[in-house]
Amino acid sequence: MPDSQTVSGSRAGLPGNPTGVRHQEDFLMTSESLTVPVKDLLPIVTLTAGFTAKRDLVPALRYVYFEGGTLRAFSGEAGSVWRSPWTTPTPFAVPGEMLAKIVQSLADQGVEEISLTRREQSLGVRAGAFKGQLPLLDETDRSAFVLRDPPDRATCTEVTPEFWAAFDQATISVGQDETKSMLRGVYWSASGNFVTTDGARITVVYPPADARVVPPDKKPLLVPDHLLARLGTRRSEVSGLALDGGSLWCLLDSGAVWGSLLEAEFPAARPVAIVKQARNGRKAGGTTVSVPSGPMLDLVLDRLLLFAEPPTCRIDGKVTADTLVLSVGGTTAQETLPAVVKGPEGGFAINGKFLKEAMGRVSSAFSTSLDNPMVPLYFLSESRQVEHVILRLID
């Protein structure tokens, strides 16, 4: 093994090192090994591993590919390319999820450095008192990777954290039914609004002026949930979006991720019409119920949900002059909440899980027509930028 030589990097914007300045002692490299700070490797490998396949029958899609100054992953429907502040001596690919878990555990333990050594059939890992070996992907299997590079930054639509804050408010109603692919994303309208529905709930978000952005090419876009789930909370770091064929690219400071767009048309007109109808119904009369928000409300609803049978998680509501009585199974479980009530008294049945999410994320007040089970519960956020409806359960 040749003597170790010291190398330096200068890539800006890496998490944990906002200046991008690298000192020569930061990364030690030989022809077959690399030593890096755990704190620098962790955010990179965690994000990249999130874009590997979890259940795919093609083994290569579960691997993270180290090559030169990049880490890459490809799941079949999404991929990532991340610029690293070091150069890998020779290319290799290792199981992404396993590597991410190891690096996370080392970070949690307070270990500062990790050494990766390329061997003939394995990758040696040393850190603190730990040492182990990860299997390497055979070079002949790497043809399964799709190694794409992001589009030019100048072609991207710029977005801000405020844009993502508004966008995230719509995710409450993203569909999870794999048979209804057209509902498994956030509809980004040509005017810059967001719409989602899972068939039982509908959410419309009207971003404030300083966060409103029209989609790339100024055409409606369905942002796929599979891409959002892989990005997780890191999507607030995305500062640029671009379309490239059938994919949406999300650009971060030191890398990019992409996901295949859903090959389905979102039925925007019908959900929007239902929300407008509920909004007009609220103005025309009906009953409005407002209960105190906060941790106490969450505790009450969580307790009732212990008794509610999935998948409907039915909770019955009874509105009186000054209370909202919530119950499961008649008298199996019951809670009485103080409420400000305007309009006629009556009852309704609702999915309790949906009710809890709406009261926690949109508003603890709602309106409906209690004598008509076809009228949904309508929620309006305090900012008046989020409208949300839940269809009622019908006996």
Look at residues 104, 113, 45, 127 and name the one whose alpha carbon lies nearest to residue 80. Answer: 45
Per-residue pLDDT at 7 exceeds 50: no
Mean pLDDT comparison of 28-37, 132-141, 316-325, highest-scoring range: 316-325
pTM score of the predicted model = 0.85
pLDDT-derived band at 11 (thresholds 50, 70, 90) equals very low
Cis peptide before 311 (omega within 30 of 0): yes
Q: Name the residue type at position 50.
A: G
CA 191 to chain centre: 23
Per-residue pLDDT at 378 exceeds 80: yes
pLDDT-derived band at 331 (thresholds 50, 70, 90) equals confident
Look at residues 14, 74, 56 and name the one whose alpha carbon lies nearest to residue 258. Answer: 74
**120, two tokens:** 């003939």
* CB burial string 121-140: b at 16+ within 10 A, e below: eebebebeeeeeebebbeee
Determine which of 149-153, 170-174, 212-216, 224-228 has the lowest per-residue pLDDT on average: 149-153
pLDDT-derived band at 56 (thresholds 50, 70, 90) equals low
Per-residue pLDDT at 14 exceeds 60: no
* CB burial string 185-223: b at 16+ within 10 A, e below: bbbbbeebbbbbbbebbbbbbbbeeebebebbeeebbbb
Look at residues 356, 350, 358 and name the one whose alpha carbon lies nearest to residue 388. Answer: 358
Region 265-273: what's the mean pLDDT? 93
pLDDT-derived band at 41 (thresholds 50, 70, 90) equals very high
Per-residue pLDDT at 214 exceeds 60: yes
Per-residue pLDDT at 394 exceeds 50: yes
pLDDT-derived band at 9 (thresholds 50, 70, 90) equals very low
pLDDT-derived band at 301 (thresholds 50, 70, 90) equals very high
Per-residue pLDDT at 95 exceeds 60: yes
% pLDDT > 70, the chain: 91
**219, two tokens:** 């055409």
Q: What is the pLDDT of residue 8?
A: 31
**206, two tokens:** 């009207």
pLDDT for 271-300, tens place per residue?
999 999 999 988 888 999 999 999 999 999
Query: Is 139 or 335 the better-scoring residue by pLDDT?
Result: 335
Per-residue pLDDT at 4 exceeds 70: no
Query: Is 319 or 261 the better-scoring residue by pLDDT?
Result: 319
Region 170-197: what's the mean pLDDT? 95
Region 67-89: what's the mean pLDDT? 90
Q: What is the pLDDT of residue 59?
A: 83
Region 14-41: what's the mean pLDDT? 57
Region 20-28: what's the mean pLDDT? 39
Per-residue pLDDT at 132 exceeds 90: yes
For residues 34 and 20, what is the distance between their CA atoms, to the nearest angstrom? 19
Can you name the residues that pair with 266 across neighbouring β-strands?
none
208, 166 Cβ separation under 8 angstroms: yes
Q: What is the pLDDT of residue 88?
A: 86
Sort 260 into a burial class: Cβ within 10 Å, 0-12 / 13-18 / 19+.
middle
Per-residue pLDDT at 23 exceeds 50: no
Region 342-347: what's the mean pLDDT? 96
Mean pLDDT comparison of 2-16, 72-86, 381-395, highest-scoring range: 381-395
Sort 233 into a burial class: Cβ within 10 Å, 0-12 / 13-18 / 19+.
exposed
**265, two tokens:** 């048309």
Can you name the residues that pair with 204 across neighbouring β-strands?
195, 387
Region 339-365: what's the mean pLDDT? 97
Q: What is the pLDDT of residue 198?
A: 97
Mean pLDDT across the chain: 89
3-state secondary structure the chain: CCCCEEECCCCCCECCECCCCCCCCCEEECCCEEEEEHHHHHHHHHHHHCCCCCCCCCHHHHEEEEECCEEEEECCCEEEEEECCCCCCCCEEEEHHHHHHHHHHHHHHCCCEEEEEECCCEEEEEECCEEEEEECCCHHHHHHCCCCCCCCHHHCEECCHHHHHHHHHHHHHCCCCCCCHHHCEEEECCCCCEEEECCCEEEEECCCHHHCCCCHHHCCEEEEHHHHHHHHHHHHHCCEEEEECCEEEEEECCEEEEEECCCCCCCCHHHHHHHHHHHHHHHHCCEEEECCCCHHHHHHHHHHHCCCCCCCCEEEEEECCCEEEEEECCCCEEEEEECEEECCCEEEEEEHHHHHHHHHHCCCEEEECCCCCCCCEEEECCCCCEEEEECCCCC
